Amino acid sequence: MSTKFFTNVDHNTLFNKFKGVFDNNKDIEYFDALVGYFRSSGYFKIRPLLNDVPNIRILVGINVDHILSKFQSKGLLFQEDADQTLKEFLSDIKKDIQEANYFADVENGILQFIEDICNKKIEVRAHPSKKLHAKIYIFKPENWSEHKTGSVITGSSNLTDAGLGGSGEKDFNYEFNVKLQDFDDVKFASDEFESLWLEGISILPYDIQKVKEETYLNDDFTPFEIYIKFLIEYFGKSVEFDPNSITDLPEGFKRLSYQIDAVNQGFQLLEQHNGFFLSDVVGLGKTVVGTLIAKKFFYSNGFPTHISNILIIVPPALKNNWVETLDKFGLQNYRIITNGSLHKITNPTKYDLIIVDEAHKFRNDTADAYNELQKICKATTNRRLKDGSFAKKKVMLISATPLNNRPADIANQIYLFQDSKDSTLEVSNLQHFFRLRIDQYDRLKQETDVKKVQDGVKLIYEDIREKVIKPLTIRRTRTDLKIHDLYSEDLQKQGIAFPDIEKPRKIFYQLDEDLDQLYDHTMRLLSHPEEGIKYYRYQAIRYLREPQRSKYKNADVASFALAKLMRTMLVKRIDSSFYAFKKSLQRFTDATEMMLQMFENGRIYIAPNQNVNEYMMEGKEEELIAKLTNLQFTDPTITICTPEDFDPEFLRGLQKDFSLMKPLNDKWQKVNEDPKFDEFLLRIKTELMSKEINHSKKLVIFSEAKDTTNHLKAKLDEAGIEGVLEVTSENRNKVDHIVKENFDANIPTSQYKSDYNIIIATEVLAEGINLHRSNVIVNYDTPWNSTRLMQRIGRVNRIGSVAPKVYIYNFYPTAKVNDDIELEKKAIMKLQAFHSALGEDSEIYSPDEETQSFGLFEKDVDEQKDERLAFLMELRKFKSESPEEFRRIKNIPVRARVGRNRKILDNTTLCFMRNHRRDAFYWIKANNKIEELSFVETAHEFKTDPPEKAIPLPDFHHEQVQIAHQDFEEKVMADISTNQTVDATQGPNEKRAKHYLGGFLSIPFLTEDEKIKIRTAQKAISMGKFQNLQREINKLKRDTTKIRMKPVELVDALFIIINAYPLETILQEEETVITINAYDQYKPEIIISESFAHKK
């Protein structure tokens, strides 16, 4: 049956109807179109059909409601304003051009449309008064009459690519139209069109040409303009330097530009990602910056309607410093607690901002302290937003070295404010991202080729740094402050200078032949896997038989860890001082002998493992071991065993260990020489306190071991050296004021004292304290990683340091030889023995930690510069010197592009794209292969000087940009797919926990609220909200397989777990359903591009 109606099904599109009309009616003289919406990007499709049509008119409706709302918001009345109509139409055209598909044929169609208006091939008018919904297309032949009727099409189709039929079946809309050929119908449509046409506002060639100039189609951009626009788009608000963002500084504090930048950037990151790392290197005032960010947050977070509460979590040694700083800056509504007091926070929703100092101490997600902190950070706040939901908590992690950790440790810190499977970063599924890199890292531990290890680790950390750490981190180094004018000039005006750090100096202490042999023999016994001590004394539970063994979870793992800890402690003690080593060795020997005695007596006392991590966080290794070996006196869960309860191998191992350590201990107890102290005393009397290097006559000495600091204090007193102060964890608070008066350069000079000129300290003074009246540090024992070394140096290399140079001295044992080269060679061999003894943790490092102990020999202590900062400073300088040019270039539209003449990059394209998650920088090579670059790499290629001239855009430009665009799209769709199939990326523990929870939903006596809580817990596991939730649920499952529980008891046990987690954060969040429409928020936007060709 014939009908006049048609849809666009089965290719029966409006475009094909147009084509049929024009192909079969060669004498069409008039083509009139009345449309409610018009896209110039769709014009290219019908343009070939219009070649022979002499009269083309297009009348377009505009969104009058949009204009009305703008006028009404200003209290004005809109009355069919021709200028406003023209402005609105041209604005729509510009928007259409900027959002059109980036293909050459589409672009040529747009340019053809502009050209056709300019040469009057077509006329376009905009209608000012009616919001036109009608779509009418009128085809009138030459000598149009009732005998040559022409035709009219009307219906739902607009003159757009989608309305015409699109380029693929999925691209076009469902349309419903009718084609009429009765003369009366065509005449009625034509008359209506004529009356509306007369009311329209003409679009003149000047107007449309101006549109071209204001869009990316402008071909007058220069390479330098494109470079500056690239920087403006990348840096965004960071270019705006606002010195007034820091106000009301207390007396004694100076307004510093780099701190102003840090405050503004930190506040932006809190808004964007709910948290960030504040990682300025030691000595640059992170406590002050953190306080200033907190203060800005307090007054920006709904104040005065909402009064924010701030929780600050710090190590005990730093608490006093924080309290003093917070009080000076007048921060309100804060509570400060130490790491071990997290359980005291009973109402986490009270707090809006969490600040965690030395955040790297919360890197183990199996520790109780980490679990408590994550619950606090993931709880909602009490601040209700306009949409009725509660604001998310913000988290500031302060750590000078976020990358100096294993990949898993980095991930755990990020999970304090990001969900592991639903992050705000480019990498939305962080758990999957880190799992791959953790596996790579673990495989490298088995690698014996040092070069392969270093290269492999470097690649892992570069990936983590670029995709995860950089977007979440504020970091300035002293190098940054020195090389950038804005910062360096500011510091000069304030009278602040950072000293240069001299290359570490070596102090060799020589061992005579007998002591050298004993030393090497000792190192072999401490660490050799076959011939050495096995530390059986600390592996008792590993060798227990059932049923006693079943009381201890992970008996093998715990035993290995404790034995390794003991081995590490002894190795470090021999490096620290012979005195400390002899005391530790004696205790170890006595403990082993006592265990053998218990076997002889027939009663062996075993106690459960305690929380090792808490002690490790405080650096109390020896205290930990003492507690673990004496638990039978303090632990009510102590177990009394008989020799028959143990595998016979345990007793044999104990006896073998004792047979090795007893004679070793006897030999060491007879050693009275102390060549290390002798050399140290000689250096104090000569070099270390000389005016040439030590202007203020202040000396700082660090050692890990309290036994060593006790020994040094006693020996220096014995040698008649006056003014020596020893600081350990026992007297830290008591002598805090003495330390400040004698070593802190930031206090008023009227309060300076010189009662003490030498300070000997354990690691308790390695962080959060100013010692910068001194400029000489002695590491009496080796700082085994660069983090610890930089922390120590940071005590004297701080804001306000007065000496021009900082000197670092490190001790190394060596054999007595006459040749300096041989002396150092022997020292390096001993150092290698230390690395081997300390095991895998000293063999594999992040790139930031590669210096290590060998670096103390070979490298200057240096800090990397932030190359991004160099480009930001260049942009700020341009803005300052050329504000009008900056404003003009800032207004250049995105997609701006340019052709450049460069032989080395011939036939290639650079393209900057982004979506709401990430920035991407593509280099499309001559063979159309692509490579993603970093911002810095891309900026170096974009960088140019103002005189460079552009060349015409090469023909390959659009194709290469599309290759990059397609790659970005594929990655976006893969990301969406990953989010859609979260279960596929979940591990067995998560699946097991969710399945177990699902079983509870069928229990008949559960209330609906309880079922909602269970489903919410399942969702929390899917999102990766809490690291320990699934572990606790799986533990409940395991426990209940051994002990039968009534359903009511089981439900009660489950809700004890669930109620311990702040799941209300999930209840208020609507579950995101990823559909094809979600692509709109992910799809890439072309920001800037340039293509290179070589023109001779």
pLDDT for residue 1076: 39
Cβ within 8 Å of residue 648, ≥6 positions away: none
List the structure tokens of 728: 């350990």
**Residue 58 host element (H or E):** strand 55-61
- Alpha helix segments (H runs only) across 33-171: 40-46, 64-73, 82-99, 104-118, 161-164
pLDDT for residue 982: 41
Cβ within 8 Å of residue 644, ≥6 positions away: 545
pLDDT for residue 837: 46
Mean of all residue pLDDT scores within the chain: 81
- Give the residue carrying structure tokens 């987690």: 1061
- Stretch 324-331: mean pLDDT, rounded? 87
Q: Which of 175-189, 443-457, 1068-1082 has the lowest mean pLDDT?
A: 1068-1082
Alpha-carbon distance values, 852 to 383, 534, 546, 978 (Å) = 46, 27, 44, 39
DSSP SS3 for 129? coil
> If you write DSSP's letter for every residue of 816-881 in order, what string do you get?
--S-HHHHHHHHHHHHHHHHHHHGGGGT---GGG--HHHHHHHS-------HHHHHHHHHHHHHHH
List the structure tokens of 831: 């150092």
Alpha-carbon distance values, 59 to 109, 196, 769 (Å) = 19, 8, 74
Angle at 1084 between CA 968 and CA 239, to 5 degrees: 115
List the structure tokens of 15: 């475009």
The model's confidence at residue 249, banded by pLDDT at 50, 70 and 90, is: low
pLDDT in tens, 27-78: 899 999 988 777 765 677 888 888 889 999 999 876 544 443 443 444 433 4
pLDDT for residue 634: 44
| Residue (of 382, 294, 363, 383) closest to 335 by Cα position | 294
pLDDT for 201 beyond 90: no
**CA-to-CA distance for 159 and 35, rounded, in angstroms?**
7
pLDDT for residue 159: 77
Percentage of the chain beyond pLDDT 90 is 32
The model's confidence at residue 1080, banded by pLDDT at 50, 70 and 90, is: low
pLDDT in tens, 488-514: 887 777 777 778 888 888 888 988 999
pLDDT for 957 beyond 90: yes
pLDDT in tens, 388-438: 788 899 999 998 766 556 788 889 999 999 988 888 887 778 888 898 888
pLDDT for 375 beyond 60: yes
pLDDT for residue 783: 72
Q: Which amino acid is at 950?
A: A
pLDDT for residue 906: 93
Question: Checking DSSP bridges between strand 896-901 and strand 1085-1093, what pairing results, if any?
Answer: parallel
pLDDT for residue 616: 35
Angle at 68 between CA 67 and CA 71, to 5 degrees: 90
Residue 1054: CB atoms within 10 A of its CB come to: 23
Q: How far apart are the first and last CA of the chain?
A: 67
- For residue 373, which phi and psi values (nearest 5 degrees)? -65, -40
pLDDT for 820 beyond 70: no
**CA-to-CA distance for 646 and 597, rounded, in angstroms?**
15
List the structure tokens of 557: 């793992």
Q: Which amino acid is at 353?
A: L
Higher pLDDT, 738 or 158: 738
pLDDT for 859 beyond 90: no
List the structure tokens of 524: 């072999």
**CA-to-CA distance for 1043 and 664, rounded, in angstroms?**
50
pLDDT for 20 beyond 60: yes
**CA-to-CA distance for 95 and 377, rounded, in angstroms?**
42
Q: Which of 164-173, 554-563, 817-826, 844-853 has the lowest mean pLDDT?
A: 844-853
Domains of the chain, each with CATH number or no CATH: 5-213 (3.30.870.10), 257-493 (3.40.50.10810), 500-506+674-858 (3.40.50.300), 533-669 (no CATH), 901-1096 (no CATH)
The model's confidence at residue 861, banded by pLDDT at 50, 70 and 90, is: very low
- For residue 1079, which phi and psi values (nearest 5 degrees)? -55, -30
pLDDT for 183 beyond 90: yes
pLDDT for residue 622: 53
pLDDT for 785 beyond 80: no
pLDDT in tens, 605-621: 665 544 433 443 344 54
- For residue 81, which phi and psi values (nearest 5 degrees)? -85, 120
pLDDT for 359 beyond 50: yes
pLDDT for residue 860: 43
The model's confidence at residue 303, banded by pLDDT at 50, 70 and 90, is: confident
Do 669 and 728 form a contact (C-beta atoms < 8 A)? no
Tell me the range of 248-262, 441-455, 898-912 where mean pLDDT is highest. 898-912
pLDDT for residue 636: 42
pLDDT in tens, 980-996: 444 445 677 888 888 88
**Residue 785 host element (H or E):** none
**CA-to-CA distance for 849 and 403, rounded, in angstroms?**
9
- Stretch 920-947: mean pLDDT, rounded? 92
pLDDT for 314 beyond 80: yes
The model's confidence at residue 233, banded by pLDDT at 50, 70 and 90, is: very high
Q: Which of 41-55, 572-586, 860-874 has the lowest mean pLDDT?
A: 860-874
Q: Which of 190-204, 631-645, 753-767, 1016-1030 has the lowest mean pLDDT?
A: 631-645
Do 442 and 435 form a contact (C-beta atoms < 8 A)? no
pLDDT for residue 73: 44
**CA-to-CA distance for 170 and 42, rounded, in angstroms?**
16
pLDDT for residue 710: 95
Do 877 and 485 form a contact (C-beta atoms < 8 A)? yes
* Partners of 6 in beta bridges: 177
List the structure tokens of 466: 């670029």
